Amino acid sequence: MLLDTLIKIFNRDLNKLKAEIELYNSETNLWVVDKAISNCAGNLCLHIVGNLNTYIGATLGDSGYIRQRDLEFSLKNTPRTELLNQVDEVMIIVENTLAKLTPEDLEKEYKRKVFEDYMTTGYFLVHLTTHLAYHLGQINYHRRLLDL
């Protein structure tokens, strides 16, 4: 039950991420920063993709992905089409990886130490949905304020 819910939430929010990226009137505005908003939509999109590729794809799915987290925030002007392709790719990785998990897998300790406390895989996957939603909200706000 939880696995089906997680797959639906990730698909919903990653599709919404694609919609937000597509809604920008100007592709260059994906990369606009302002003194009050230092993370632009393009970098937040790269960060979401890197995060899910790392914590779901590599850790749970053994995809071999190697994260370069600094680039998620320093790369600029990645074309919109490339951002959308990366989101499409991570959607497939997330769904395929989660579809292979069992309810028993969700009760196991998560394979990587991310926080100080012990956590189950299920707990961390729920955390990843909220992390995605948090940054999705930032992107929506960024677009409405700075895509003029």
Percent of residues, the chain, with pLDDT higher than 70: 100
pLDDT for position 97:
98
Per residue in 15-69, pLDDT (tens digit) is: 999 999 999 999 999 999 998 888 999 999 999 999 999 999 999 999 999 999 9
* Domain span at 51: 2-146
Distance in angstroms (rounded) separating the CA atoms of residues 65 and 36: 33
CATH number of the domain bearing residue 66 = 1.20.120.450
Structure tokens, 134: 């948090």
For the chain, how many structural domains are there in total?
A: 1
Whole-model pTM: value is 0.95
Distance in angstroms (rounded) separating the CA atoms of residues 103 and 79: 39
